Amino acid sequence: MTRRGRWHMRAVAERTAAILRGHGIAVEVRPWCRTVNVAAKSVETMSSAQRNARIRGNIVVTDPAACHNRTAIVVDDIITTGATMRQCVGALTDQGARVVGALALASVQRDDAA
């Protein structure tokens, strides 16, 4: 996913793809999801409900035709409430992609997580 002009997970996605290719799985890395209309960084948003409201409807697929009828794995840096990951999966699925997995480097246990 790309956000605010940077693609900070590219190296992780590329390395993951290389490992999968090493096992005979044909994969490509594509930045198909992007956030739009999100002013605050997610770490600045306090509650689970606020985080969900912040991201809802603000993930777009950058190339809908390219992901249609394709298999995808979503890669992100951290899962706090899962809102971003869910929205990415939903946006890709809405465009005809088949999301078979999701990868995050870290997750946060929060008291307010639903």
Angle made by CA atoms 86, 76, 26, in degrees to the nearest 5: 100
Our separate counts of H helices and E strands in the chain read 4, 4
- pTM, two decimals, is 0.80
Q: What is the pLDDT of residues 18-29, one digit of tens each?
A: 999 999 999 999
How confident is the model over 62-84, as pLDDT tens digits?
999 999 999 999 999 989 888 88
Tell me the pLDDT band of 6, cut-offs 50, 70 and 90: low
Q: Which of 78, 72, 74, 85 is nearest to 105 (CA)?
A: 78
What integer pLDDT is reported at residue 45 of this predicted model? 54
Task: Reply yes or no on whether the pLDDT at 114 is more than 60.
Answer: no
Cβ–Cβ < 8 Å for 33, 60: yes
Q: Which two tokens stand for residue 33?
A: 């999801």
